Structure formats: C-alpha cells, structure tokens
Structure 1
Amino acid sequence: MKPPCRASIRQDGLAAIELALIMLFFMALLPVVLLFGRAFFAYTALQKGAHDAARYLATLPLPQMANGDAIVQHSAFARQLVLDAMAETAPQLQALSVSLDCIYADDFYNCGNYPTAPLQVRIKVSVDMPVDILPQLTRAWLPQMAPIPLRANATLRYVN
C-alpha cells in the first residue's frame, strides 16, 4: 500500500482557505441582495394595487363617474385598495401620494369634473421604502443610506 501524497493534503487546506475567503464576500453581499429583493417584492405589490384601483375606476358606469359626490366615494375606495395592497406586503411603508386622474382628449383632470366619459383613468402612487433591514453595525458604517423610492403607475382605458 502506498502512503498518501503530501501534495493532496496541502490542496485540501488550500481549498478550505479559498472557501473561507469566498464565504466572507458572499456573506457581506447577502444583506444587499435581501434589501433589493424586498424592494422588488414591495414594488410588485404596489404596482398590482395601483392596477386594481385603476381597473375599478375604469369600469365605473358613466353616471357614477360624472357625479361629483359619487366619485369621491369611489376614489376613496380606490385609494384604500392601494393602501391595503401595501399594508399586506410591507406594513412599514407609508404612501406619500396616491393620485387619481381622468385623462380626456385635451388634458387630465380629477375624475368627476366633466359630464363626458374620460378616455383613460390613471393612478400614480409614490412610496419611500426605509432601509432598515441592514444590521445596526452596518448602518453605523453606511449612514448615508437613503430610503428607496418606489413609484407605481397604472393607466387603463375607460370602458363604459
């Protein structure tokens, strides 16, 4: 029987050192990947909420869309659809603005201002996602981490 070669023992030790160095890099990269994964997840939910609210307003009958009192209630419900979608996904997010507009042939206005049917309905949502997933030690090294701005738009053709 042949004794084990010394070169293979040295190679095993070298592989362990390489693994340790590579693992340090990937462990430092993991919080960044988790942060942006969370941002994409929140953006997807925000976009879906904006699309659902635009679809709701785009399917309102014209008498309700042209009535100023009725459109206030429907607009509040559409805003609540967006806020509920945000609350389910990321409860720490606070909506900066939720804009509901009706697009006519010449320009866009608040819904309910004109008795004619709009061409399109548009929802714009603005949210700033705070960067709080990183550990406290990392935040001490990177104090300039600003919130991540998330903006969602949904424009649908008015069908009624």
Structure 2
Amino acid sequence: MKAPSTRRQRGVAAIELALIMLFFTGLLPVVLLCGRALFAYTALQKSAHDAARYMATLPLPQMMNLASAAEGSVVVRQMVSDAMQDTWPEMETLRITVECVYADDAYQCGSYASRPLQVRLKLTIDMPVRFLPTLLAKWLPQMSKIALRANATLRYDN
C-alpha cells in the first residue's frame, strides 16, 4: 500500500481542527456563564458574611430595640445591594432576610427582650442570562435567570 501524502494529511488535520473549534466555540458561552455565576455567587457570599458581621457587632441596647435593629437591617440591605451592583449591575430581585436566633427560635432582630445567640442572613438574587440566542431561550426558558442564594450565620458577640 502506498503511504498517504503529507499534503493530504494536512487537509485532514485542518478539517478535524475546524470541527473541534466549532464545538469549543459553541461551548465557550457556557463556560463564561458558569464563571460569571461563580464570581457573582462568591461576591454574594462575601457580602452576606460582611453584613452578618455588621449585625453581630451591633451593641446590645441597639439590638434589643426594634427601631435601632430595623435601622441596622436597612444598613445591611444597602451594604449587600451596593456590593451586588458593583459585581453585576443587571441583577434583578434581591431578597434579604435578617433574623436573630434566640434560645427557642429565630425572630426579627429587636423584637425579643433578651440577647440573641446568633444573627442569620439569607440572601436570594436573580442573575439574568441575556446572551443566549432567542431560539435557545425558547427551548430552555428556565435559563432566563439563575437564582443565587447565600446564607451567613454568626454568633452575636456583644
């Protein structure tokens, strides 16, 4: 048998490269989306921890007063919103729950007459996915947004 020519081998290699590049080019947006979602989740988790640390270090008289604790919750919400706007400006819905954990259950901070044991923050945010083609978005409507959730529970120190 005759050995194939090098010119013919180069042509086959070019076709193989073109097919592989087509596959990886189609896969690239998925990799970028996963990276962006991981970046947003990391920022969300860090902001949740920072906000919980802020609430966990409020002085006890403020934490036992409903109005002062509500002001602290407003500051926490603003901290998280600012951090997420820096990370992903198109973030849609931000749900923040701030609770103080007491011996028997968790309540709104400031609504219980004793010192809380822990401060708990629960965050949920919707990360929109807008770069998918409209045809793919019709096939996968659940990919229109990605729900990111973060929780932070810290011991109350004061």
Q: Do they fold alike, i.e. is TM over 0.5?
A: yes
Q: Which of these residues, 3, 6, 21, is aligned with residue 19 of structure 2?
A: 21
2-structure distance, mates of 1:85, 1:67: 27
Gaps of 5+ in 2: none
Identity of aligned residues (%): 59
How far the C-alpha of 1:10 sits from its partner, in A, is 1.4
TM-score normalised over the length of structure 2 = 0.91
Of 136, 139, 146, the match for 1:141: 136
1:72-111 alignment, distance < 5 Å: 72-111=70-109
What one-letter code is carried by the residue in structure 1 that aligns with 2:136? W
Q: Which residue of 1 aligns with 2:65?
A: 67
Q: Which runs of 5+ in 1 are unaligned?
A: none
Aligned length: 153
Alpha-carbon distance, 1:6 to partner: 5.7
Whether the 8 Å contact between 1:103 and 1:118 is mirrored in structure 2 is: yes
What TM-score, normalized by structure 1, do the two folds share? 0.90
Structure 2 CA distance for aligned equivalents of residues 96 and 81 of structure 1: 12
Secondary structure of the corresponding residue to residue 133 of structure 1: coil
Aligned partner letter, 1:79: R
Misfit runs of 4+, over 6 Å: none
Contact kept, 8 Å, 2:92 with 2:128, in 1: the verdict is no
Q: CA deviation at 1:35?
A: 1.2
